[in-house]
Amino acid sequence: ARIMAIADIFEALTAADRPYKTPKKLSETVKIMGFMEKDAHIDGDLFKLFLGSGVYEEYGERFLKPEQLDEVDVSEYLG
C-alpha cells in the first residue's frame, strides 16, 4: 500500500489528462513529494528507493511529455 501511494501521487502530479490542472515537471513533482516525505505523508525509505532506482526517470521518458522532462537533483532527498 505504501509503494502504491508513492506511485499514485507521482502519477497524479505528472498526469496530463486531468482537465482541472496542468501536469507538473519531474523536478516539481519530486519537490512536492519531498515535502510529503518530510511531513511523514509518504514512507521515507520507499521514497528514497523510488528516487535512487531511477524509476521516476524511466516512467518520465516513457509516459510524460517532453516539456515535463527536466533535471532533478535527487541528492538532497537521498542524503
- pTM, whole model, 2 decimals? 0.95
Write the pLDDT tens digit of every residue in 61-70. Answer: 999 999 999 9
Residue whose C-alpha cell reads 535512487 in the numeric block: 52
Gap between the Cα atoms of 45 and 25, Å rounded: 23
DSSP states along 48-61: HHHHHTTHHHHHHH
Q: What is the pLDDT of residues 18-42, one digit of tens each?
A: 999 999 999 999 999 999 999 999 9
